[in-house]
Structure 1
Amino acid sequence: MELNTEIITTPPLDSASVVLLRDHAEGLQVLLLKRHQASNVLGGAYVFPGGKLDAADHSPALLARLSQDTATLHQRLAEPELPAERAAALFVAAIREAFEECRVLLGQAHSETPDLQALQNALTQGQSWSEAFQHLSLQLRTEALVPWTRWITPRQASVTHKRFDTRFFITRVPDGQTAAHDNHETTETLWITPRQALIRYWDRQIELAPPQIMSLVHLTRHAHTESVLAEAQSRRPPVIEPEPFDQDGIRTICYPGDPRHSVTQVAFPGPSRLMYKNKRFEPELGLAALLD
Structure 2
Amino acid sequence: MELNHEIIDTPPRDAASVVMLRDGTQGLEVLLLRRHADSAVLGGAYVFPGGKVDSADSGGATLARLDRPVAELHARLGEPALSPEQAAAFYVAAAREAAEESGVLFLQVGAREIATHSAATCARLRAGESFAALLAEHGALLDTDALAPWSRWITPRRPSVMNKRFDTRFFLAAVPLLQEAKHDDHEVTEARWLTPRAALAQYRAHEIDLAPPQIVSLLHLMQYRDVAHAMQHARSRPPPLIVPEPVEDGDTRVLCYPGDPLHPVQARALPEPVPTRVVWRAKRFEPPQGFGPWLD
Same fold? TM cut 0.5: yes
Deviation, 1:123, is: 3.4
The one-letter code of the counterpart of 2:282 is N
Aligned to 1:145: 147
State the partner residue of 2:24.
24
Residue matched to 2:62 = 62
Deviation at 1:106, TM superposition (A): 1.9
Structure-1 separation of matches of 2:20 and 2:209: 19
Residue 266 of structure 1: CA displacement? 1.1
SS of 2:246's equivalent? strand
Unaligned runs of 5+ in 1: none
SS state of the match for residue 148, structure 1?
strand
Distance 1:30 1:190 in 2: 8
Q: Give 1:250 shift.
A: 1.3
CA distance in structure 2 between the aligned counterparts of 1:17 and 1:290, rounded to whole angstroms = 25
For the residue of structure 2 that corresponds to 1:200, the secondary structure is helix
**Mapped pair 1:285 → 2:289:** yes
Residue 117 of structure 1 deviates from its aligned partner by 3.4
- Cα distance in structure 2, aligned partners of 1:125 and 1:163: 26
Determine whether 1:274 maps to 2:278. Answer: yes
Please state if 1:92 is matched with 2:92: yes
Match for 1:262: what amino acid?
Answer: P
Whether the aligned pair in 2 keeps the contact of 1:107 and 1:143 (CA below 8 Å) is no
Shift of 1:126: 5.1
Matched with 2:14 is 14
Runs of 4 or more off by more than 6 Å in structure 1? none
**TM-score, normalised via structure 2 length:** 0.94
Provide the C-alpha distance between the structure 1 equivalents of 2:113 and 2:54, rounded to a whole number of angstroms: 30
Q: 1:190 aligns with which of 173, 177, 192?
A: 192
State the one-letter code of the partner of 1:190.
R
How far did residue 122 of structure 1 move?
4.2
The residue identity in structure 2 corresponding to 1:99 is A
CA 1:60–1:251 in 2, change beyond 3 Å: closer, same or farther?
A: same
CA distance in 1, matches of 2:269, 2:126: 41
- Cα offset, 1:286, TM superposition: 0.8
Q: What do residues 157-199 of structure 1 show as CA deviations (whole Å, max 9, x unaligned)?
A: 0111111000000010000100011110111110000011111
Aligned pair partner of 2:132 in 112, 130, 139: 130
Pairwise CA RMSD of aligned residues? Answer: 1.6
Are the counterparts in 1 of residues 106 and 113 from structure 2 also a CA contact under 8 Å? Answer: no
- CA shift at 1:236, angstroms? 0.7
The answer to whether the 8 Å contact 2:107/2:140 transfers is: no
Report the TM-score, using the length of structure 1 for normalisation: 0.96
Q: Where does the alignment leave 5 or more consecutive residues of structure 2 unmatched?
A: none
The structural deviation recorded for 1:141 is 1.0
CA change 1:137–1:281 in 2 (3 A) is same
Pick closer, same or farther for the CA change 1:123–1:144 going to 2, 3 Å: closer
Q: In the alignment, which residue of structure 2 is the partner of 1:178?
A: 180
Give 1:97-246 correspondences, 5 Å limit.
Answer: 97-106=97-106, 108=108, 112-113=114-115, 116-120=118-122, 122-123=124-125, 127-246=129-248
Distance change >3 Å, CA 144–CA 123, structure 1 → 2: closer
The DSSP-based 3-state class of the residue aligned with 1:198 is helix
Partners of 1:211 and 1:200 lie apart in 2 by 16
Which letter does structure 1 place at the counterpart of 2:190? E
1:256 matched to which residue of 2?
258
> 2:112 & 2:181 partners in 1: Cα distance?
15
CA contact (8 A) 2:259 2:265 kept: yes
Aligned length: 292
- Kindly provide the amino acid, as one letter, of the partner of residue 236 in structure 1: P
Q: Distance in 2 between matches of 1:267 and 1:250?
A: 24
Percent identity at matched positions? 53
SS at match of 2:145: coil
Q: Which amino acid aligns with 2:289?
A: L
The 3-state SS of whatever aligns with 2:76 is helix
| Residues in 2 aligned to 1:94 and 1:261: alpha-carbon distance in whole angstroms | 29
